[in-house]
Structure 1
Amino acid sequence: MAETKRTGLGALASADADEDFSVLDAIGGPRGVVESMLPGFVFVVLFVVTSDLNLTIGVSAALAVVQVIVRLIQRQSVMGAVSGMVAVGICLIWAWRTHEARDYYMFGFLTNAVYAVLLAASLIARVPGLGLVVEFIRQLPTEHFRAWFHDWMDDAALKRAYMIVTALWMGLFVARLAVQVPLYLTNNVALLGTARLLMGIPFWALAIWVSYLIIATPLHRHNAKASAAPPVADEAETSD
């Protein structure tokens, strides 16, 4: 059985300077890109063409469901499609309840704002948020949390790289809000939808690629040092 390729920040968690890194694979491959962008594309185009919000919501909802059904029929992983369907569903319900097409994008504003605030707080605390996420995915510290935390935080080069990419991702979320919120306030659905698409997957792919360039080498060196280091005796054994 072929190994499932990690996507998103999971791809960064397996980054290695000696291996090829595929941005396309990291963002879900061609099919993942299409499935991610298609509902938003259909929503903005259909609404601009018809100005019928109910029709636009109905078609967009049906499309999200069809994507999941197709994956089920083909016996492929449906997690990405299901999570995408849930996100689209929240956006559609929001627009339906307010009867405002622009509110389709409100959930995205909230998530981007939350991410930006959390990453900013992590930078202020000098504990890079992206480092926490990537290292958690890499090692899943079910025990010895303190040792896990200090293992990568005490590596100055690796911590510096994580601080940089954390600032990069915070900038991504802030840039989205800076461009899209004024379009929301002026009720320019066409431009708002276009900006959302352009600043979605393309920006995501760019952020992942630049993040890889920044963290791959220090992460590889960190792993090499860890492999070369002699095993540390368990605390219970050393205390006997």
Structure 2
Amino acid sequence: MTSLDKPTSDTDQPHRTPQQDAEAKAVTEAALFEAFGGVRGMVETVLPGLLFVTIFTINKNLHFSAIAALAVSLLLVVVRLVRRDTVKHAFSGVFGVAFGVVFAMMTGNAKDFYLPGMVYTLGLALAYLVTTLAGVPLIGLILGPVFKENLSWRTRNPGRKKAYAKASYAWGLILLAKCAILFPLYWWADTTQLGWVLVALKIPPFLLAVYLTWVFLAKAPPPIDVFAEMEAEEEAEKARKAAAARGGDRAPEEARGYEG
């Protein structure tokens, strides 16, 4: 068993000082901001839907409202491209808005602009819960590469696996609660009522889920940097080969000296 495969337990983790705890919280906070887009990502998530419901509330024009929402989503992508920023959050927003626009245009029902996003939220909630029950919490799959630990937490870091499981359950239950509010409104409320409630529910549940994830992970054992371990293994292997080569070069010289 190599060092990369060696499992660890919660008791194997060294006791952390208050300064180390503060550093762990800061690292976790930075990783969560990177993974979920931070303040800018939240703005990009809310703005298209807010623009759609605002325009539709004023003039009840489905086509104009939908085109305006799609246009602002594309503009956000262009701004990121010009600034050479990460575009994954903006692109995901464009696809979400595009699906909503197409669906609403096909049915002629303005409420259907929100339906694809609602179905996606429901599917995501179920994914968080099902993957956690299966022993592979989705939040761990998302954040593992961000923390440079990949899937090492599954077998080598049980404390982090527990934290990822708690966080995934939190995400799943929070999103299910959100769906429990939105889907009845889809059937019973009008477009503007549904739209404003949906906009209002964009940020608070997200912030709650991110906060709980931060709490669980900040208290968990630190991640195992598998990339650093692999680099160390490669350097050690190079050193062994170099030592073996030097030993092989000296052998003929020693043999000649013995014969002389």
The TM-score normalised by the length of structure 2 is 0.68
Q: State the alpha-carbon separation in 2 of the partners of residues 161 and 178 from structure 1.
A: 26
CA shift, 1:173, in A, is: 1.6
2:219 is the counterpart of 1:217: yes
CA shift, 1:108, in A, is: 1.3
2:41 is the counterpart of 1:39: no
Q: State the alpha-carbon separation in 2 of the partners of residues 90 and 135 from structure 1.
A: 29
Alignment counterpart, residue 17 of structure 1, candidates 14, 24, 28: 24
Q: State the alpha-carbon separation in 2 of the partners of residues 93 and 166 from structure 1.
A: 31
Q: State the alpha-carbon separation in 2 of the partners of residues 133 and 36 from structure 1.
A: 19
User: Contact (CA 8 Å) 2:100, 2:112: kept in 1 or not?
Assistant: yes
Deviations 1:3-61 (A, max 9, x none): xxxxxxxxxxxx96253636767653443332221110011111111111112112222
Over aligned residue pairs, what C-alpha RMSD do you find? 3.2
Query: Partner residue of 1:84?
Result: 93
Q: State the alpha-carbon separation in 2 of the partners of residues 160 and 203 from structure 1.
A: 22
Alignment counterpart, residue 105 of structure 2, candidates 80, 96, 100: 96
Identity of aligned residues (%): 27
Aligned residues: 210
User: Contact (CA 8 Å) 1:102, 1:187: kept in 2 or not?
Assistant: no
Q: State the alpha-carbon separation in 2 of the partners of residues 29 and 116 from structure 1.
A: 21
The TM-score normalised by the length of structure 1 is 0.73
CA shift, 1:66, in A, is: 2.4
Rg larger in structure: 2
User: Contact (CA 8 Å) 1:183, 1:189: kept in 2 or not?
Assistant: no
Q: State the alpha-carbon separation in 2 of the partners of residues 159 and 78 from structure 1.
A: 29
| Counterparts of residues 51-66 of structure 1 (less than 5 Å) | 51-66=60-75
- Higher relative contact order at CA 8 Å, sep ≥6: structure 1 or structure 2? 1
Which residue identity lines up with residue 196 of structure 2 in the other structure?
A: T
Given the superposition, is the C-alpha separation of residues 121 and 78 from structure 1 closer, same or farther in structure 2, using an over 3 Å criterion?
Answer: closer
Name structure 2 gaps, 5 residues minimum: 1-21, 241-260
